[in-house]
């Protein structure tokens, strides 16, 4: 069992004919993902990596029964791409696009919730259920099928921690980047709820960063509702207040959102925090063997 994506995933790639869309389509197919369609307006009838291209998501869903989409389009077109997928009946939308204004995302998130579909991202590196499917830009070769779930706000730190987990001899059930923007579709708690129900997930790693309160809220949820071991890593211990660090959501406002505050919240609620990505893998190995 896995969460979000698996062998039943039927993927449509929005922006498949672009540089990033075509490259990562090839990588997703290589991993074993069932990529059934691509969409680029005006390019219908073509093929990319053997995948048929359609002019609209609704046509792709009708012809191929796609149930998941991944979005590789510029930020200014990404909200409309999300709306199009939601209107076409897609149930899981993974948005890789970065730089969408927060005011637009507030409307987008509300819209997809009304359509009863899930948005991961934007500014997400995607989702991998190890040995099942890869949706997005996560490097498939670092994953190994196993029992550790990983949820992260940081793309590159996700890769680093997964690599250390794999090298320790453990593996992953599902790993995803939820995105580092201030407004996102899926948060830590929603992922924890699904990992709680996943019989193959024995432990979870939460990778947080400065800014916002999502980590603090997740820590309280873990203590009150989650019965599997959780480990953490927080990025940005030396970040100065008021300066955005990498992601739009990674900014300390006053005394809120600091790395120290998040680490304290984790530890007070029973989440063991690693000093480094390698330390996270070591803590996992000690617990799971």
According to the model, what pLDDT value does residue 237 have? 65
User: Does residue 231 sit in the same domain as residue 274?
Assistant: yes
According to the model, what pLDDT value does residue 1 have? 61
Partners of 204 in beta bridges: 149, 230
User: Does residue 196 sit in the same domain as residue 275?
Assistant: yes
According to the model, what pLDDT value does residue 289 have? 81
Residue 5 falls within a domain, yes or no? no
User: Does residue 65 sit in the same domain as residue 200?
Assistant: no
For residues 152 and 51, give the distance between their C-alpha atoms in angstroms, rounded to a whole number. Answer: 30
Partners of 47 in beta bridges: 52
According to the model, what pLDDT value does residue 103 have? 96
Catalytic one among 24, 141, 225, 247? 247
User: Does residue 155 sit in the same domain as residue 282?
Assistant: yes
For residues 183 and 189, give the distance between their C-alpha atoms in angstroms, rounded to a whole number. Answer: 15
Write down the residue that tokens 């969409």 correspond to: 39
User: Does residue 160 sit in the same domain as residue 280?
Assistant: yes
User: Does residue 158 sit in the same domain as residue 228?
Assistant: yes
Per-residue pLDDT of the chain (289 residues), as tens digits, is 689 999 999 999 999 999 999 999 999 999 999 999 999 999 999 999 999 999 999 999 999 999 999 999 999 999 999 999 999 999 999 999 999 999 999 999 999 999 999 999 999 999 999 999 999 999 999 999 999 999 999 888 999 999 999 999 999 999 999 998 999 999 999 999 999 999 999 999 999 998 889 999 999 999 999 999 999 999 866 545 555 445 444 444 445 588 999 999 999 999 999 999 999 999 999 999 8
What backbone torsions phi and psi does residue 206 show, to the nearest 5 degrees?
Answer: -110, 120
User: Does residue 152 sit in the same domain as residue 283?
Assistant: yes
Residue 1: CB atoms within 10 Å: 12
Contact call for residues 88 and 54 (beta carbons, < 8 A): no
Q: Which of the 8 DSSP states describes residue 239?
A: P
What CATH number is associated with residue 92?
3.40.50.720
Residue 19 annotated in ligand binding: yes
Residue 187: CB atoms within 10 Å: 16
What is the pTM assigned to this prediction? 0.93
Q: Which domain holds residue 209?
A: 139-288
Give the gyration radius of the chain's Cα atoms: 18
Domain count, the chain: 2
User: Does residue 151 sit in the same domain as residue 283?
Assistant: yes
Residue 19: CB atoms within 10 Å: 9
Residue 64 annotated in ligand binding: no
What CATH number is associated with residue 238?
3.40.50.261
User: Does residue 44 sit in the same domain as residue 113?
Assistant: yes
Residue 159 annotated in ligand binding: yes
User: Does residue 261 sit in the same domain as residue 146?
Assistant: yes
> Over 54-93, what HEC string results?
ECCHHHHHHHHCCCEEEECCCCCCHHHHHHHHHHCCCCEE
User: Does residue 107 sit in the same domain as residue 183?
Assistant: no
Residue 221 annotated in ligand binding: no
According to the model, what pLDDT value does residue 257 have? 80
In the annotation, is 164 catalytic?
Answer: no
């Amino acid at each position: 069992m896995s969460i979000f994506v698996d062998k039943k995933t039927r993927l449509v790639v929005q922006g498949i004919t672009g540089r990033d869309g075509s490259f990562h389509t090839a990588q997703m197919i290589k991993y074993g993902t069932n990529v059934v369609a691509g969409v680029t307006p005006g390019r219908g009838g073509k093929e990319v990596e053997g995948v048929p291209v359609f002019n609209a998501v609704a046509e792709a869903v009708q012809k191929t029964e796609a149930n998941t989409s991944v979005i590789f389009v510029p930020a200014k077109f990404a909200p409309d791409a999300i709306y199009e997928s939601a209107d076409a009946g897609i149930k899981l939308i993974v948005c890789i696009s970065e730089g969408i204004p927060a005011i637009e995302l507030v409307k987008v998130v509300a819209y997809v919730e009304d359509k009863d579909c899930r948005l991961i991202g934007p500014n997400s590196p995607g989702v991998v259920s190890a040995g099942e499917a890869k949706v997005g830009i996560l490097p498939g070769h670092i994953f190994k099928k196993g029992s550790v779930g990983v949820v992260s706000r940081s793309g590159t730190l996700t890769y680093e921690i997964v690599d250390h987990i794999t090298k320790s001899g453990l593996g992953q059930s599902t790993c995803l980047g939820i995105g580092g923007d201030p407004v996102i579709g899926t948060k830590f708690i929603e992922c924890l709820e699904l990992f709680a129900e996943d019989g193959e997930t024995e432990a979870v790693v939460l990778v947080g960063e400065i800014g916002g309160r999502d980590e603090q809220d997740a820590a309280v949820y873990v203590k009150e509702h989650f019965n599997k071991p959780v480990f953490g890593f927080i990025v940005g211990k030396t970040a100065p207040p008021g300066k955005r660090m990498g992601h739009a959501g990674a900014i300390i406002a006053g005394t809120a959102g600091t790395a120290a505050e998040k680490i304290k919240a984790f530890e007070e609620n029973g989440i063991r925090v690693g000093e480094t990505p390698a330390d996270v893998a070591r803590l996992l190995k000690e617990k799971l063997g």
